[in-house]
Structure 1
Amino acid sequence: MSTLIIEAFYGGSHKQLVDLLQEEIQDCVLYTLPAKKWHWRARTSALYFSQNVPVSDNYRILFASSVLNLTELTALRPDLGKLKKVLYFHENQLVYPVQKYQERDFQYGYNQILSCLVADVVVFNSAFNMESFLTSIGKFMKLIPDHRPKNLESIIRPKCQVLYFPIRFPDVSRFMPEHKMTHFKKIFDHKGNEDDTPLMPLPFQQKNRVTESLMKNSHLNLESGLCEVQSGPHTTQQDSLSNPLTKVEDLNKTHPSKNSNPGQEEDKQHMSLNLCNILSVTNEQQRPLHIVWPHRWLEAVYCGCYPLCPKDLVYPEIFPAEYLYSTPEQLFKRLQNFCKRPDIIRKHLYKGEMARFSWAALRGKFRSLLTTEPREDL
């Protein structure tokens, strides 16, 4: 049994998903087009793939994103039309933002509706994405002057399901605060990991040893109130501040001076550690708050960021209510308070779920999606 994966826009999250599927799912064959000129990919990629995907009796499943016009492809290649066809929506063209409603090209949304009609399974990366698409079909089709098709939502809906975009969370234990790492580890362990794949490869005992080693090799910068790590003779304060991902192996290269008295070095280390502990509380309040606009929220929160999102679109589906705002005024007020007390953010432990978005949690669902029983006509 073989899975044919076709991606007409091979870049960004589209690339990330199909690369993961090809790596993790057995017997996958991948055909792609570069991630540029999106509009032309949506218009013409079906014809290209119809000519460039070899005919094979081994294909059983066809997986494609909604950029591809699945209707055209299956019409041009009847052999592919016989497969179990899975269509994955990263976004949908019925509600995708445009500057003016008149600028929305009817053809792109229409193509996606047609693709859903010929697909066997239609998968969305969120419930918001699914519902916004399905509930917009009726209004969208009213743009047709006359002889409009009917009941399309009721035909398509039974095929639809939500399957969140899977994330292989990286090992961030090198630079995450210990209390947050411990909290996240408890969350993932509590939710379970179906194949026991470690989400944080660096063991916590090793992490503790690394932290201890880091502190032993740290030098106190009294002017800034920060415990700066010097990884070599050419490391400056600016380098340390601008590179929070200083490699552990570099930290371990730091050794006491050969000409120094061991007893004096030990006293300096103890003094440095004690001063760091004393200043740590003040440090949390004095250090400025960094505000970022992450392209990927699910990953930003995992790396320790505090999410502050609009109470709209997909955000209420992902984040608990305390992380949402309703108006610009609410956003301003919360940011103002956080800037006054950045220690609140640094000490905060995220209260939402992250394990459900991990590849470890979603692997089984994707594998089930990409398997099928042999049919008589295959």
Structure 2
Amino acid sequence: MRVLLLSAYDAESHKRWRRGLVAAFPGWEWTVLTLPARYFSWRVRGNSLSWAMGPERATLEQSYDLVIATSMTDLSALRGLVPALAALPTLVYFHENQFAYPKTGLAHQSVEPQILNLYTALCGDRVVFNSEFNRRTFLEGAATLLNKLPDCVPPQVMEHVATRSLVMPVPLEQELFNFAYGSGGKPDYFTISWAARWEYDKGADRLLSILESLETAGVDYRLNLLGQSFRKVPSELIEIQDRFAHRLLQVGFVESLEEYRKILAVSDVFLSTAYHEFQGLAVMEATALGAIPLVPHTMAYPEIYPASCLYESAAGAVQRMLALQSIKQRGGTLEPVPMAHYGWDNWREPYENAIRAACGL
């Protein structure tokens, strides 16, 4: 099978998904086009122009059996600009959708990224979401938007997408389940890891509140404050580095994947404070490596983790960590959450079935 794979905003989770997908089907002929994950507004609106009128056009006009595109791809415009793509079967993969992001407080919120998401979904013979939360919020959000439009909105637009949609996560790399982090086991102190993009939607304010409560409770812990930072860093993360310097082990982005995984593997708890998460690969990775996930009780998390790993408030998160620390202090074992069913070995066949269904096979 000859497959054209388009990742128009190639963020880290998108890279992991496409690399895993290509590796899962080595007998197929893959052509991959990507664009860097920066300048969001321009990228999501301009990727069709960049590719169709750039040096990639010759690649787009080659012969393929299928197009697989991420939801960031402006697929309807790209098909118009490159007619050779118009009749090809298409599978669209949604890592996220533009209807479920928390508001930033900016005065103007453009609906254009939402419209582009909808148009790309309508181009898909199969539309795959990485979680049911992602699927549901997309369908509900797009329906709400269409209901606000003044006229000429065709009926059953969302039914067209819904009947072609299914849920398949970004699978985990199989090597995670055999990762060896060295001898000696986990350290004696209680270790918490937090890893996310250092941006507004990852809940730095919630993290600060939890750390303050841990201090008040007299918990002896250490913290890995991990993730990629950008030009504008949430003030709470700067405050945490100042006020809790005595608790910090590793701070910032870890370049080495092996070293990053070693940090997670010796962590007792992996804490998420996110305000939006469509799947949460970082939490899944840490859980596969043996850390206990502690995550909000909303978004995609209840689909993945047992109730014992979910919290409803900062106080609830602290209570759970106190309980886990007590178990460790008494010499007990913190039972890991099984994650092997999210490995690529278990998802290769469902992916192949969805791809062949998109092709009408």
Counterparts of 1:149 and 1:17, CA distance in 2: 34
- After superposition, the CA RMSD in angstroms is 3.1
Partner of 2:135: 130
Q: How does 1:227-238 map to 2 (within 5 A)?
A: none
**Matching of residue 322 in structure 1 with residue 326 in structure 2:** no
Instruction: Check conservation: 1:88, 1:122, Cα contact below 8 A.
Output: yes
Partner of 1:53: 57
User: SS of the counterpart of 1:296?
Assistant: helix
1:252-301 CA-partner distances (Å, limit 9, x unpaired): xxxxxxxxxxxxxxxxxxxxxxxxxxxxxxxxxxxx98655467011101
Pick closer, same or farther for the CA change 1:175–1:145 going to 2, 3 Å.
farther
Pick closer, same or farther for the CA change 1:82–1:306 going to 2, 3 Å.
same
Partner of 1:369: 354
- Identify the match of residue 333 of structure 1 among 319, 322, 327: 319
Instruction: Check conservation: 2:4, 2:68, Cα contact below 8 A.
Output: yes
Alpha-carbon offset, residue 343 of structure 1: 3.9
TM-score scaled by length of structure 2? 0.67
User: SS of the counterpart of 2:67?
Assistant: strand
Partner of 2:3: 3
1:73-122 CA-partner distances (Å, limit 9, x unpaired): 11112221211111100000011222238643200011111111121110
Could you tell which deviates more after superposition, 167-176 or 120-129?
167-176
Pick closer, same or farther for the CA change 1:160–1:102 going to 2, 3 Å.
farther
**Matching of residue 308 in structure 1 with residue 294 in structure 2:** yes
Runs of 4+ in structure 1 displaced over 6 angstroms?
176-179, 372-375
User: SS of the counterpart of 1:108?
Assistant: helix
Aligned length: 270
Pick closer, same or farther for the CA change 1:345–1:63 going to 2, 3 Å.
farther
**Matching of residue 355 in structure 1 with residue 340 in structure 2:** yes
Alpha-carbon offset, residue 368 of structure 1: 2.9
1:329-356 CA-partner distances (Å, limit 9, x unpaired): 22222223334443479612234x4122
Instruction: Check conservation: 2:44, 2:72, Cα contact below 8 A.
Output: yes
Partner of 1:173: 180
Partner of 1:153: 158
Q: Which amino acid aligns with 2:342?
A: F
Pick closer, same or farther for the CA change 1:346–1:102 going to 2, 3 Å.
farther
Unpaired runs of 5+ residues, structure 1, are: 180-240, 248-287
1:182-220 CA-partner distances (Å, limit 9, x unpaired): xxxxxxxxxxxxxxxxxxxxxxxxxxxxxxxxxxxxxxx
Q: How does 1:67-78 map to 2 (within 5 A)?
A: 67-78=72-83
Partner of 1:104: 109
Counterparts of 2:343 and 2:170, CA distance in 1: 8
Q: How does 1:101-250 map to 2 (within 5 A)?
A: 103-169=108-174, 170=176, 171-175=178-182
Instruction: Check conservation: 2:324, 2:334, Cα contact below 8 A.
Output: no
Alpha-carbon offset, residue 363 of structure 1: 1.2
Partner of 1:296: 282
Instruction: Check conservation: 1:22, 1:29, Cα contact below 8 A.
Output: no
Q: Which amino acid aligns with 2:42?
A: W
Identity among equivalent positions (%) equals: 25
Could you tell which deviates more after superposition, 112-121 or 49-58?
49-58
Larger C-alpha radius of gyration, 1 or 2? 1
Instruction: Check conservation: 1:8, 1:41, Cα contact below 8 A.
Output: yes
Pick closer, same or farther for the CA change 1:132–1:80 going to 2, 3 Å.
same
Counterparts of 2:10 and 2:81, CA distance in 1: 22
